[in-house]
Structure 1
Amino acid sequence: MGKHAASYEPLTVARLGALLTGADDSRRWRLVAEFLEEYRWEPREDRGTLLDGEPAYTGDEHWDVFLAALAEHLSAKDGRGAPSWVETRSLRRFWFPFNTSAARVDAVVHAPAAFRRRGVYVSAHELDVA
């Protein structure tokens, strides 16, 4: 038991990107929720290391940009600057991951700035339901 606890390493955004590659959307959202849960449990001063490594491209531009927005959003919430790799990622066309009329309205109103400025419209509460 103790040996396992010592080898635990929280999910990094780079590892999350690798896991998203080839996964279907429902699995992707479960992985994002898992990442957010692990991120919350890390001491604030250690969290930046989970975001620093740039994820390889997932094969889906929407998710590549989502990861950049997520890293910037979490950095801002912790009062840190975003990792430099996030600057190169943004969408030319808006993306609503939850594409119902109610979810679209909610996302337009409540999308965090890091997501909105990249064209990803997901409401803040969708990121808190981990």
Structure 2
Amino acid sequence: MAYRGEVLSVDELRRRSDAQPRGVVANIGVRHTAAGNAARITDLLRAGESAAAAWRFGILQTLDDYRSSLRRAGTTAAADVFADEPAPTGSRELDAAFAALAEHLAAADAWTPPAWAADTARTVPGQWFATTPALFRDEAVADSPPAFRKRGIFITRYALSRA
């Protein structure tokens, strides 16, 4: 039997999900934080993992944790994912990415970013294309959200899209 349904893009799935009414399901507090994820990727980097691999396990995991908290308990709880400053990971790129993500989400969801996100030390010397292949770097330069761009991090518009 052939599939007869509609195949939707990740962006369309997110759009439809975001359009659903939200209510606080349960306020059990924040389970995972940017600071905790930074500590875990510090261990990965020390074990020899690349910054690109650490991006997936740190930055994208923090994004997932934020969105889960947002759905479950609202904006205040979601902002608490970034309440504690992440300790340096050993990668200036990833340290800058945590700050960029906090600022980006704060702007998107209308909350005040944490003070630590404004630290100018959380900037990449030069440019970093995170996990963007060379083929898409022009697109990343054009599309990168302002919070990432100003820190020298360039990502495509799909880099923060999650299913």
Amino acid at match of 2:117: V
Partner of 1:69: 100
CA contact (8 A) 1:98 1:104 kept: no
- Residue 7 of structure 1 deviates from its aligned partner by 7.8
SS in 1 for 2:159: helix
1:117 aligns with 2:150: yes
Partner of 1:126: 159
- Residue 11 of structure 1 deviates from its aligned partner by 1.4
Structure 2: gaps (5+ residues): 1-26
TM-score (norm 2): 0.68
Counterpart CA distance in 2 for 1:85 and 1:120 is 18
Larger Rg: 2
CA contact (8 A) 1:72 1:86 kept: yes
Match for 1:91 among 104, 120, 124?
A: 124
CA contact (8 A) 1:10 1:39 kept: no
- Residue 68 of structure 1 deviates from its aligned partner by 0.7
Counterpart CA distance in 1 for 2:94 and 2:75 is 25
Partner of 1:59: 90
- Given the superposition, is the C-alpha separation of residues 9 and 47 from structure 1 closer, same or farther in structure 2, using an over 3 Å criterion? closer
- Residue 33 of structure 1 deviates from its aligned partner by 2.7
Partner of 1:39: 66
- Given the superposition, is the C-alpha separation of residues 84 and 7 from structure 1 closer, same or farther in structure 2, using an over 3 Å criterion? closer
CA displacement 1:6-37 (0-9 Å, x = unmatched): 98852111111111103223254134333222
| Higher normalized helix content (fraction of residues) | 1
CA contact (8 A) 1:96 1:121 kept: yes
CA displacement 1:71-109 (0-9 Å, x = unmatched): 111111111121110111212211111242322122111
CA contact (8 A) 2:37 2:62 kept: yes
Identity of aligned residues (%): 30
Counterpart CA distance in 2 for 1:74 and 1:40 is 10
Q: CA RMSD in A?
A: 2.3
Counterpart CA distance in 1 for 2:59 and 2:107 is 18
Structure 1: 4+ residue segments shifted above 6 A: none
Amino acid at match of 1:16: N
Aligned residues: 126
Moved more, 7-16 or 81-90: 7-16
Amino acid at match of 1:13: A
Match for 1:11 among 18, 24, 32?
A: 32
Counterpart CA distance in 1 for 2:130 and 2:38 is 16
